[in-house]
Structure 1
Amino acid sequence: MPQNPEKIVDHVQLFQQPEYQELFKNKHEQFEGAHSPEEVQRVSEWTKGWEYREKNFARQALTVNPAKGCQPVGAIFAAVGFEGTLPFVQGSQGCVAYFRTHLSRHYKEPFSAVSSSMTEDAAVFGGLNNMIEGLQVSYQLYKPKMIAVCTTCMAEVIGDDLGAFITNAKNAGSIPQDFPVPFAHTPSFVGSHTTGYDNMMKGILSNLTEGKKKDKTNGKINFIPGFDTYVGNNRELKRMLGLMGIDYTILADNSDYLDAPNTGEYDMYPGGTKLEDAADSCNAEATVALQRYTTTKTREYIETKWKQQTKVLRPFGVKGTDEFLMTLSEMTGKPIPQELEDERGRLVDAMTDSYAWIHGKKFAIYGDPDLIYSVTSFLLELGAEPVHILCNNGDEEFKKEMEAILSASPFGKQATVWIQKDLWHLRSLLFTEPVDFFVGNSYGKYLWRDTKIPMVRIGYPLFDRHHLHRYPTLGYQGGLNLLNWVVNTILDELDRSSNIAGKTDISFDLIR
């Protein structure tokens, strides 16, 4: 059908046109061989009950919508937090295209990462030649200050030795001998994106700090954000540290890379922690990790090799931010400024305003371990009652930590922590034990569609909404954003459920 270029319609309108509806109908009848609508409805209703839930939770050999990414996603995310760093993935082009697009769709920003373009011959004979040529081309064409190498499943299955390969590439003259090429083995068939972040962070820090340890400290404190996809958080962290007058190094700061200004000129490597600052991080007074489960190996390395104190502080909600600021004050002798005291008061005031709408509301949450811990802690402060806590990439340590904070709160008694379960498991939980709202990333919209339970979009990835990643979620300012998203989702749902004139609109109030 010819299109009028002045009346181009988007896909929402386009596929409602009669000719497309006819195509869909014919495809369904002639090619799909689908069951009757009545049978589909019958099975659909059966999957919502307890009988199906028991069968669903008994499965072992299948994962449906796992609510986690693979290791290289976290590895390249960590790499771009360092100045002039190009992520290099030893693997096929298809894998790297997935990693790039996954991050680009979340941030609506270009994400640069290159591949060694391994194909069938490399799978048989190894990827050394791909590495040698790939590093040379990347160095000459993209002019990075550092290339951070990680692997995909193919390279791991055939046993590519990154350390040896990089040494051979340097000996072959692909890149200068003194050019930094940290690496991490990141097989996708174990762990998740949080594991990949940890592996790459350890690899980069061990490479840059080699031989840089001094007899005295530089007076700074290192901060490792972890796999935190809210670019506003690094900026909020720097603002709070600036108000306290604390000298710091962020390992690593990818906020400008993932949220670059549009100036009309393309910058391939905007922002990032300077390599010399990262190299000197081994001489800091201490290292503070804002996430526990994305920094396990990195913190162990820092404590063992650098002989440096590490702490895990999660500045989320009132209690978490209080502990963060008071601990920093004790470590540095710097007072907490009045400006931050005032921000605390504003958050408490806002929580008081909204408390009646959130108190007693039952909720479910899924996502990464540290995000679940932080958001759940804050919601408990508001009197919300968790029921289902699902973490596919959580372990027994995470489960014990969650159960501890749940048992310490009068609102956490009903919750069950599910680890290594997927979103199809959560679907059964939401149908058999419904809640008032659930928290999760964009993949939860299918749960929202099926269960009609309101959804609060917090986490990664957020593909189907714009700009949420730009807001901070940590600190008192971040608490206001979390509160805003939760309470207004509840109020939106209240309006939707009371908007029938003359029937339900007795509660369709102007003032909430």
Structure 2
Amino acid sequence: MAQNVNKIKDHVELFHQPEYKELFANKKQFEGMPTAEKVKEVAEWTKSWEYREKNFAREALTVNPAKGCQPLGALLAAVGFEGTLPFVHGSQGCVSYFRTHLTRHFKEPVSAVSSSMTENAAVFGGLSNMVDGLQNAYALYKPKMIAVCTTCMAEVIGDDLGSFIGNARVDGVIPQDLPIPFAHTPSFVGSHVNGYDHMMKSILTTLANKKDTSNGKINFMPGFETYMGNLRELKKLIAALGVDGTILSDTEMYLDSPNLGEFSMYHEGTSLEDAADSCNAKATIALQAYTTTKTLAHMKKKWKQETLVHRPWGIKATDEFLMSLSKMTGNPIPKELEIERGRAVDAMTDTQAWLHGKTSAIFGDPDTVMGVLQFMLEMGVEPVHILVHNSNDEFEEEARELLASSPYGQQATVWGYKDLWHLRSLLFTEPVDFMIGNSYGKYLERDCEIPLIRIGYPIFDRHHLHRYSTIGYGGAINLLNWIANGILDALDRKTDIAGETDISFDLVR
């Protein structure tokens, strides 16, 4: 039967068609689905404190993890360098997942290749796949650097990336002088933030050209940064203070590229020359701590560099970041930034009454959660549930210290290594006014009827949020906008029946 191309249905409408309704009904019968009454009964039980205790007692099962796997972070680190092609030593399916995951968030094509390992490679090793893959990748795409990471398959069988790459050079299939940093990034441990760190350290170690004198620059490491507006904000702040700096992994043009009518596989990024010279900088400032732990430790120990961590989320942290730059450079903070600060403070004052005393839950990556907590405590929001799946002891200690320092953080509980099914139990047994997290929280929003403010990664079901900033004074206004208007949107949904739930008819808020 011919299909009418003018009547192609969106998937939302498609699955409401009679044939799909019949398919779903047959599926329930085939699977022996319990009755609707039984499903409702069990669903209600899962909202109880009794179920919460059973839920938190589980050890061998993860339900809806709030993290990605290591190679995802490795890819993000690699694409921020000039002419760099990520190469995943593993199966085609794995690299397709990583590319798709990033593309769905940024709405930009993410280029990466794989060694296409299959069953044969799993048994006999992936040497030939690696050699052939490097040869083809270089011949077809002419990269200035190839950044290699691994997947579970390569790690389980113990492939040695260093020797494999060495064999490829000996065989003459790639130039001797082509930089090929590599990182072991097994998906069965750690998360995307660890993969980012491992790849960043490998790239900088591979390229480093140590000299006897300092170049006088300051390095800035954004970390696993998924807001391209943050890179623009960072560049603006650096320029305003007259800082001579190098951004290590500048993904802005790659992941928010203009449409100029021509396809470019490689966009602007950190030049390989600047990356090689970064070891001669006088200091490195990381904007995330837990995505750059090993890299910072290497810089401090091997490069003898001063290393600092600043997360300029909110007013106080942005003040500290700018004052630190001013002290390091001797340059004064310009009037234009004082004006920006004043606007942010004014906006926060205007909206404070709507946020003060509101309770919240938050989930996400450690550094993102810390940044959001900084801002919420400044606004008088009271965090209750802080859930970080890819947690660590240092993060939990830092989070608890921050919460203890504020009167608004006293009732907060930090839940490390827990997933979103744990968060569901928390939200049903101890409800809050709103929650903050990525798109995977939308089913918690529907189930628990608690508004979701989308901040973090990934955000698949809303467009263009990644183009905004969350850091600096401008970023503080964006955070304020998202949280306050999310609360007002939820209030409108709860007061939409005239004369019943909408008594005051409040049009001015």
TM-score, structure 2 normalization: 0.99
Write out per-residue CA displacement over residues 240-277 of structure 1, whole angstroms, 9 at most, x where no aligned residue: 11111110000010111011111111100111100001
- Report the counterpart of residue 358 of structure 2 in structure 1: 361
Matches within 5 A, 1:103-502: 103-209=102-208, 212-502=209-499
Question: 1:228, CA displacement in angstroms?
Answer: 1.2
User: For the Cα contact (< 8 Å) 1:495–1:508, is it kept in 2?
Assistant: no
Letter in 1 for 2:117: M
CA–CA separation in structure 1 for the residues paired with 2:84 and 2:344: 38
Is 1:74 the counterpart of 2:85? The answer is no
Q: 2:508 aligns to what SS in structure 1? A: coil
CA–CA separation in structure 1 for the residues paired with 2:181 and 2:478: 37
User: For the Cα contact (< 8 Å) 1:499–1:508, is it kept in 2?
Assistant: no
Q: 1:24 aligns to what SS in structure 2? A: helix
Q: 2:253 aligns to what SS in structure 1? A: coil
CA–CA separation in structure 2 for the residues paired with 1:218 and 1:6: 61
Question: 1:12, CA displacement in angstroms?
Answer: 2.0
CA–CA separation in structure 1 for the residues paired with 2:426 and 2:337: 40
Identical amino acids, percent of aligned pairs: 70
Letter in 2 for 1:6: N
RMSD: 1.0
CA–CA separation in structure 2 for the residues paired with 1:415 and 1:467: 31
Gaps of 5+ in 2: none
Letter in 1 for 2:312: P
Question: Against the structure 1 CA distance between its residues 4 and 121, is the aligned structure 2 distance closer, same or farther, given a 3 Å change threshold?
Answer: closer
Question: 1:169, CA displacement in angstroms?
Answer: 0.7
Letter in 1 for 2:67: K
CA–CA separation in structure 2 for the residues paired with 1:511 and 1:265: 47
Q: 1:168 aligns to what SS in structure 2? A: helix
Q: 2:182 aligns to what SS in structure 1? A: coil
Q: 2:96 aligns to what SS in structure 1? A: helix
CA–CA separation in structure 1 for the residues paired with 2:459 and 2:15: 24
- Report the counterpart of residue 57 of structure 1 in structure 2: 56
- Report the counterpart of residue 18 of structure 1 in structure 2: 18
Write out per-residue CA displacement over residues 71-99 of structure 1, whole angstroms, 9 at most, x where no aligned residue: 00000110000000000011111111111
- Report the counterpart of residue 90 of structure 2 in structure 1: 91
Q: 1:257 aligns to what SS in structure 2? A: helix
Write out per-residue CA displacement over residues 26-79 of structure 1, whole angstroms, 9 at most, x where no aligned residue: 3333x2310000000000000000000000000000001110011000001100
CA–CA separation in structure 1 for the residues paired with 2:501 and 2:44: 27
User: For the Cα contact (< 8 Å) 1:438–1:453, is it kept in 2?
Assistant: yes
Q: 1:287 aligns to what SS in structure 2? A: strand
Is 1:102 the counterpart of 2:77? The answer is no
Question: 1:2, CA displacement in angstroms?
Answer: 5.6
User: For the Cα contact (< 8 Å) 1:498–1:507, is it kept in 2?
Assistant: no
My pick for the range that moved more, 37-46 or 232-241, is 232-241
Question: 1:449, CA displacement in angstroms?
Answer: 1.1
CA–CA separation in structure 2 for the residues paired with 1:196 and 1:125: 26
CA–CA separation in structure 2 for the residues paired with 1:163 and 1:436: 52
Q: 2:219 aligns to what SS in structure 1? A: strand
User: For the Cα contact (< 8 Å) 1:399–1:419, is it kept in 2?
Assistant: yes
Letter in 2 for 1:5: V
Letter in 1 for 2:54: K
Question: 1:3, CA displacement in angstroms?
Answer: 4.4
- Report the counterpart of residue 34 of structure 1 in structure 2: 33
CA–CA separation in structure 2 for the residues paired with 1:182 and 1:32: 49
Write out per-residue CA displacement over residues 442-494 of structure 1, whole angstroms, 9 at most, x where no aligned residue: 00011111101000000000011100011011100011111100000000011
Write out per-residue CA displacement over residues 216-236 of structure 1, whole angstroms, 9 at most, x where no aligned residue: 111110000000100111111
Q: 1:456 aligns to what SS in structure 2? A: strand
Q: 1:187 aligns to what SS in structure 2? A: coil
Question: 1:507, CA displacement in angstroms?
Answer: 3.8
Letter in 2 for 1:48: K
Question: 1:108, CA displacement in angstroms?
Answer: 1.0
Write out per-residue CA displacement over residues 190-211 of structure 1, whole angstroms, 9 at most, x where no aligned residue: 11000000000000000000xx
My pick for the range that moved more, 179-188 or 212-221, is 212-221
Write out per-residue CA displacement over residues 147-206 of structure 1, whole angstroms, 9 at most, x where no aligned residue: 000111111111111111111111111111111000111111111000000000000000
Question: Against the structure 1 CA distance between its residues 2 and 507, is the aligned structure 2 distance closer, same or farther, given a 3 Å change threshold?
Answer: farther
CA–CA separation in structure 1 for the residues paired with 2:12 and 2:273: 50
CA–CA separation in structure 2 for the residues paired with 1:101 and 1:412: 37
Letter in 2 for 1:367: G
Write out per-residue CA displacement over residues 406-452 of structure 1, whole angstroms, 9 at most, x where no aligned residue: 00000000000010000000000000000000000000011111101
CA–CA separation in structure 2 for the residues paired with 1:156 and 1:508: 61
CA–CA separation in structure 1 for the residues paired with 2:335 and 2:322: 12
CA–CA separation in structure 1 for the residues paired with 2:124 and 2:9: 50
CA–CA separation in structure 1 for the residues paired with 2:123 and 2:22: 48
Question: 1:508, CA displacement in angstroms?
Answer: 3.7
Letter in 2 for 1:58: A
CA–CA separation in structure 2 for the residues paired with 1:183 and 1:137: 18
Question: Against the structure 1 CA distance between its residues 380 and 214, is the aligned structure 2 distance closer, same or farther, given a 3 Å change threshold?
Answer: same
CA–CA separation in structure 1 for the residues paired with 2:505 and 2:247: 48
Q: 1:411 aligns to what SS in structure 2? A: helix
CA–CA separation in structure 2 for the residues paired with 1:60 and 1:192: 18
Question: 1:285, CA displacement in angstroms?
Answer: 1.1
CA–CA separation in structure 1 for the residues paired with 2:4 and 2:135: 49
